[in-house]
Each structure stands twice: as C-alpha cells, then as structure tokens.
Structure 1
Amino acid sequence: MNPFAADAAFLQKHHTDLVTLQDGEAQVLICPAYQGRIMTSTADGQTSYGWINRELIESGKFGPHMNAFGGEDRFWLGPEGGQFAIYFKPGVEFNGDNWQTPAPIDSEPFALVSKDDRSARFSKDFELTNYSGTKFSVGVEREIHLLRPEQIRMVLGADGVPMSDSLKVVGIESVNTLINKGKNPWTKEKGLLSIWILGMYNASPEATIVVPFQPGKGQAVNDSYFGKVPASRLIQKDSVAFFKADANQRGKIGVPPARAKNWLGSYDPGSQTLTLVTFTFDPKNREYVNSAWEIQKEPYAGDVANSYNDGPMKPGQPQMGKFYELESSSPAAALQPQGRLTHTHTTLHIQGDETQLDKIARHWLGVSLEEIVNAF
C-alpha cells in the first residue's frame, strides 16, 4: 500500500467520519474530531505530506498539555504566553508543567456543517479565560477548500511561472473566522486573541525550510523561542532564512510584521516536493499577539510567520515526532460584539520536474532550488 493510501486507511479505521476531498490524484483528508484539521494531502495519489502521530491516535487516549495528533493545517489561537495567555491559568508560573492547550482547540471536535467533493465547513462555540482573568465567548467558523487548477494558478500569479504538465500539485485553502459571541468588546487592555494556523509536515534528513523576509531595520528573524538556534541549523542570507527540517534538534523561528512576507516554504529533494504556504497579511497592521512565556513589556509585538523543527526537549529525551512546522498568524482581534476576523492560510505541494520547481522557488521564495539544497 502506498504511503497516502496507508494514512487514509489508518485514519478511516480510527475516525469513520473522516472527510475526503478529491480531484483526480489530488486528495485531502480532514478530521472533524480534531477541530476540522487537515491531516494530510497528496498531489500524486501516493506521497503523503502531513505528519500523523499514529501512536497517539491509536491509543485512543488524550494526554496532558497538548495532543499532538499531527496534521498539516490545524486551528489554534494565540497568545500562548504572557499576561494575556490562554495556555496558562491565571497566576501560575510560565513553565511546561503549567502549560495547557485549551480543550476546544486540542481535544474537542468541531461540528461538520456541510461538505461536498471540494470543500468542508466546520464550526465551534466555546468559552476561554486568559491569564489576566478576561473571559471570552468565542465562535469559530472554518472552511477548507481543495483548490481547482485555475485557482492554484491564481495563487501563484499569472505573471509568475506557468504550471507545467510535468508537475503534480495539490492546493488547500483554509478560511478561518473568529467571532466575538459575547456582549462586551475585546480590548487591548484586557487581552486579545488571534488565529494561529500550524502545519506539521514529514521531516527528512535533507529537507530545508525557506523563510523570505523584507529588507529593513530591526531584527528579521527571531530565534529566541527555545534558545538560540545554532548557525549550523539556521542561516540568514540577504532577505531569506534557511532552517533545517530534519527533526533532529528542537528549534523555532519567527518573523515580525515589519519584516515579514506572506510566503514561506520548504523543499524535500527526496520526494522532489516544493511546499509553499501563503496567507492573508496586511503589512500596515503591526499588532500581533506575543506568545513569549513571560510577563511582557510588549504584548502586541509578536510574529506573523513561524517555523518549528522538532527534536528532543533535552538530550536523551523522547520527542513529539519526526516533523517540522510552517505557521501563520492573524493580527490581534479587537472585535466588537458579533465582530468577525478572517484569516486565510493556503498550502501548495508541488512535486516533479526540478527545472519547473526551480522557477517557482525563485519567483516566490527568492532563491533557487540549488541554493536551498546546498544551504547547509
């Protein structure tokens, strides 16, 4: 059985409500029980791009802190840490023992509202309390679309690189809306929420993450999340950062709004797959929630785009899995009652002829395939 078919059979065994979107060889698997999460996809009917935590799913049990089921597009909310954190109870110390992903975005299902061959819609209403004691009445609407070839061409741009028949492509768009279902406005003084989309992909020894950024003043790449990333694993050249995607050492990077672009990606030479992620981003909006695990001087000086490479928490300890992440966030949501904020996150997996992949990488990531492959 090929890898994608094996993943589909495994997920179907454990989740009979699994939603499949399909257009020829391009397929997407979505799990309502895991918040309408895109678990994996394929462009050629064989390669499976999303990382799936089989051991955890097979156990049928929920663990403490976070249930890392996997999946290449999952819905989360920020901020993680700080005085407005929603992953820490009021007053506790910011440490791993006290860190807890809120159940509505971790272990509770989203309701499947509707589906057809190319799309699925989900919803969820719930309550949250942040570290400062502010209560939120939250509504979430989530739509997932399997993009048509003409929509993929629109994402890549008509003036970009024409899609060749030598390429296999799957494009997935998640449209995520946050709604203030309460009677009071959400204010900066009491804390704001943001939409946070994270994609977990299968790591490989030669895979490399590519994060382009704008020229300008100030720090372009923040690598202080879990301790400074060593130069052997993170390289900055001109207006791009290369970050290893081998899942051999834990590390995370982010780009602030003043320096961000709304594209990031990765390349795996083993499967000849170029992955591109793009998302809605207004460079004029500089207010993004800060997820640092501390009482913050600047709670709205967070990052727009992030990437994470998994590895052991400490030498000799186990790790979550062999995956890396590409992530995007919405701005902080200062919403009036019934106010809405929508964040769209689009993932493209393009597989095949390296000459064509090189043109796409140059256009959207600003570097050649050769530069990516030889970065480390």
Structure 2
Amino acid sequence: MKYQTSCLLVFCGAISTLGGCLSNSKGFDEIRIFLDRNADSIVLEGENGSKLLVSPRLQGRIMTAKVGKVESTGLVPLETIEEGETHEHFNNFGGIDRFWIGPEAGQYGVYFPPGAKELTRDNWQVPAAFDKGAFTVTEKNAGRIRLQKEMEVTNLRGVAFKTMVTREIGLIPSDALDTELGIELPSEISYLGCYSDNQLQNTGESDWDPAAGLIGIWILSMFNASDQAAVIAPFKTAGDQSKPAYNDEYFGKVSKDTPGRLKVVDQAVIFRGDARKVGKFGISQERTTGLAGSFDFGKNLLTVVRFSVPQTMERYGNSTWHVNQEDPYSGDAFQSYNNGDNEKPGEVASDAFYEIESASPVRALRKGESIRHRHAIYHFQGSREELEKLGSKLLGVSLEKIEDAMWPAGS
C-alpha cells in the first residue's frame, strides 16, 4: 500500500443549485487528475488495483473508491467542484465519507438560523465550519491519513459550540476482514475497505448542557445511484414492539407516499437508491445492528457499512424538521437518504446519489472532553453467486429476495 499526494489549486466560479456534471462515467484516474487541477488529492492504494481517493481541501472527504470493474463507487460532481465554494445552501462536493455535525433540525439543530420560526429549504444552511475550507493533514503514511480542523457551530437557540475535529482515514486490508466482519474474502471477489475514525472535542470555555442543546458526529456516504440499486438496513427485534422498526417520516412518509420504494424483507428495511424521489428513513440505536449496506444489481457491487454503536443507551440528536420537537434526543443512529428532483418527480436528479449515514450519540462533554465515532466501508465486487453468500451472511437477507421484492417480475 502507498500514497500519492498533489498540490492545491484555486477554485473559481459559481455553483448551480443542484451541482451538475456527474462522475458516473468518469474513471478513477480521470477524477484524480481533475481534483489535482481543482482541489487536491491523496491516493491510498489497496490490494489488486483497488484505490481510495481523499481530498483534504474538500473538507477532508473520502471522495471515491475503485474496486474490481467499478471505476468509481462515489458521487463526485465535477462541475460543482470546479465552480467552487460559493453555493448559498450547500457545497455538494460528494464523497463516500464526509464529516458533518448533527443534529440537523429541531430546537437544537445547527442547520437553520438562530431564532428561526419555521424550518424550510429556503432557510436550511450547511454550517460553513464543515461546508467550506480545508482540513490540515497532520500525519500520513502508506495506508493512513490524519487530518484536523477547528470548527464552531451555533444551534437554533443561539448556543455556540467550539470544537476541534480530528479524522483518521485509512485502508482496511482483506486479512482484517475476519476481525472486522467475521468473514474470509473469496479469492474471486475484488475488495476495497476503508474507514474514518472521527473525534469531536469540546474546546470551548464551558461544559455542554443538555438543556441548551448538544451536538455529535454525523458521517454521510454518497454512492452513485442506479435503477438497480437498493439500500439494505437490518434491524433488531428489540425494545417496544408496538413501535415501528424504522422512521420514514423525515420528508413525508416514504412507505405511504411512494409505495414500493421502501419495503421490509425478513429483518431488513430495503430502500431504492435510484435518485428518482427524495426520501429518507432512519433506525434508532435500540434497533440498529450497527451494519447496513447496499447492492447494485447492475454492477454486482455489494457495499457494507459498519459503524460505532454504544452498548448502553444514549441520547441521539433528533433531525426531523420541526422547530419544537417533543423529544429532541430521540434521534436515529442510522439513516439513509435517496436524492431526487422535486420539480420533476420520477426523473433522475442531476446529482444522482443515495446516502448511507451514521451518527454518534450527542453527549454533554465537559471542557476538553471528546467523543469518537468510526464509520467503515467495505466494497465487494464480482460474481453474483459469491456476493449472494456474503450479502446473506453480513446483512441477513437474500439478494434474490430483495430483487424479487423491489423489482417483481413483469413490473
């Protein structure tokens, strides 16, 4: 394993609302060359030609990965990157792992102006602290990078949080899969594994108070959408069985508003990742298994995401879009979002992606204390037969059952 690094160049221009040009047809090396010209890049080289692309300049994102016959697993909107950090609401530079701070909404949300009386797309704003500016590389070697950035965010109540964010990004070799996932890699399957280990430190002058709001780590993975892609989110049969295993009421109720886009198969929520309709669902700490994933039936690409979940119950920031939530600390540990064009329902959005997201708890950190959260991605590409075995073992549901449920014969 080895790394390559290149220099930062200057951004210019203006960003369109949706960002434009997609990376789906671009190869890994084309994307790297583009980033060398318009931002920066560090390449971590894995096994058998697999590669990982990181950009410290683009907020410390893991931009994309190459594995097997798939040149780029992540959304990298080249046109938006070329135009620069000028978008009014969100500089959507894509990436399979980006760092955000949550919660998004509610009385303690940090994505709306202090004192806002309603939460709408017009006053939604990604905080500049992690929407703009570079992370500083503090350490790097053949398979790992460490980055840092000071950040300050303010919640809806006007409470400010000063923090230091540290991200360690690295490769996960195939010989670690037994420890990581309890599996051995079939010889005919191509593989790329990576992780981000994230730390959020309270660097302010006072301890954080739950009565004034708390914040936590939020990691989001943007993967290339496809009409043949489905998100797979297993859940536990734990807790109050009278409550649903998932929450799909972030942007309308997915299961009611768009039947067929979200289904439960065995013990997993299945959700289309086609960028044709905005929708989102989440699973609580109590019900998540700490594993989720997706499968692209067109590319024979299985993606598994493993994330930190505390053993004891904790507070999670509630990101549903209500000014006064009944319980602002009843949020989800796992979420999945599918993009779409609200003006042209059913058509593929210009930024064609779906997301697999994980969050840390929100804790009342004392001055100087930190919280950590790990988010790991495992890409497997190869024969459907072998991926069927891996998918069933790791996510607890048959790929064949998923295909039959989401794309019934004759539909």
Flag whether TM exceeds 0.5 (same fold). yes
Distance 1:23 1:318, change over 3 A: closer
Counterpart of 2:365? 335
**Does 2:208 match 1:186?**
yes
Unaligned runs of 5+ in 2: 1-24, 407-411
The whole-number CA distance in structure 1 between the counterparts of 2:26 and 2:76 is: 15
**Does 2:165 match 1:140?**
yes
* 1:14-53 alignment runs, 5 A limit: 14-15=38-39, 17-24=40-47, 25-44=49-68, 46-53=70-77
Counterpart of 1:304? 333
Counterpart of 2:185? 163
Distance 1:147 1:59, change over 3 A: same
Give a deviation string over 1:99-144, Cα, whole Å, max 9, x none.
1111111112111112122111110112222111212111100000
User: Is the contact between residue 286 and residue 301 of structure 1 (CA under 8 Å) also seen in structure 2?
Assistant: no
Q: Greater CA deviation, 270-279 or 61-70?
A: 61-70
Counterpart of 1:350? 380
**Does 2:106 match 1:82?**
yes
Unaligned runs of 5+ in 1: none
The alpha carbon displacement at 1:2 in A equals 6.7
The whole-number CA distance in structure 1 between the counterparts of 2:350 and 2:203 is: 34
Counterpart of 1:128? 153
SS in 1 for 2:148: strand
The whole-number CA distance in structure 1 between the counterparts of 2:390 and 2:54 is: 27
* 1:61-76 alignment runs, 5 A limit: 61-76=85-100
User: Is the contact between residue 27 and residue 45 of structure 1 (CA under 8 Å) also seen in structure 2?
Assistant: no
SS in 1 for 2:244: coil
The alpha carbon displacement at 1:283 in A equals 4.4
Q: Greater CA deviation, 238-247 or 299-308?
A: 238-247
The whole-number CA distance in structure 2 between the counterparts of 1:260 and 1:283 is: 12
User: Is the contact between residue 2 and residue 46 of structure 1 (CA under 8 Å) also seen in structure 2?
Assistant: no
Q: 1:114 aligns with which of 122, 135, 139?
A: 139
The alpha carbon displacement at 1:270 in A equals 1.4
The alpha carbon displacement at 1:47 in A equals 2.2
Which residue identity lines up with residue 302 of structure 1 in the other structure? G
The whole-number CA distance in structure 2 between the counterparts of 1:122 and 1:10 is: 22
Q: 2:299 aligns with which of 246, 265, 271?
A: 271
The whole-number CA distance in structure 1 between the counterparts of 2:122 and 2:306 is: 34
Distance 1:2 1:182, change over 3 A: closer
The whole-number CA distance in structure 2 between the counterparts of 1:312 and 1:78 is: 24
Which residue identity lines up with residue 157 of structure 2 in the other structure? S
The alpha carbon displacement at 1:256 in A equals 1.2
User: Is the contact between residue 391 and residue 399 of structure 2 (CA under 8 Å) also seen in structure 1?
Assistant: yes
The whole-number CA distance in structure 1 between the counterparts of 2:26 and 2:253 is: 39
Root mean square deviation, CA, Å: 1.7
Give a deviation string over 1:137-180, Cα, whole Å, max 9, x none.
111000001112222332121xxx42111010000010000000
User: Is the contact between residue 207 and residue 367 of structure 2 (CA under 8 Å) also seen in structure 1?
Assistant: yes
Counterpart of 1:206? 228
The whole-number CA distance in structure 1 between the counterparts of 2:301 and 2:215 is: 34
Counterpart of 2:309? 281
How many residues are paired up? 372
Q: Greater CA deviation, 44-53 or 197-206?
A: 44-53
Give a deviation string over 1:321-346, Cα, whole Å, max 9, x none.
11100000001122111101100000
Counterpart of 2:16? none
Counterpart of 1:368? 398
Which residue identity lines up with residue 262 of structure 2 in the other structure? L
The whole-number CA distance in structure 2 between the counterparts of 1:151 and 1:333 is: 31
SS in 2 for 1:282: coil
User: Is the contact between residue 67 and residue 192 of structure 2 (CA under 8 Å) also seen in structure 1?
Assistant: yes
Counterpart of 2:251? 226
**Does 2:169 match 1:174?**
no
User: Is the contact between residue 205 and residue 245 of structure 1 (CA under 8 Å) also seen in structure 2?
Assistant: yes
SS in 2 for 1:345: strand
Structure 1 residue runs of 4+, over 6 Å off?
none
Q: 2:286 aligns with which of 258, 262, 265?
A: 258
The whole-number CA distance in structure 1 between the counterparts of 2:38 and 2:294 is: 30
Identity of aligned residues (%): 39
Which residue identity lines up with residue 404 of structure 2 in the other structure? N
SS in 2 for 1:153: helix
The alpha carbon displacement at 1:320 in A equals 5.3
> Given the two structures, how large is their TM-score scaled by the length of structure 2?
0.87
Which residue identity lines up with residue 88 of structure 1 in the other structure? F
Counterpart of 1:322? 352
SS in 1 for 2:337: strand
The whole-number CA distance in structure 2 between the counterparts of 1:3 and 1:371 is: 32
User: Is the contact between residue 65 and residue 99 of structure 1 (CA under 8 Å) also seen in structure 2?
Assistant: yes
The alpha carbon displacement at 1:318 in A equals 8.7
The whole-number CA distance in structure 2 between the counterparts of 1:280 and 1:151 is: 17
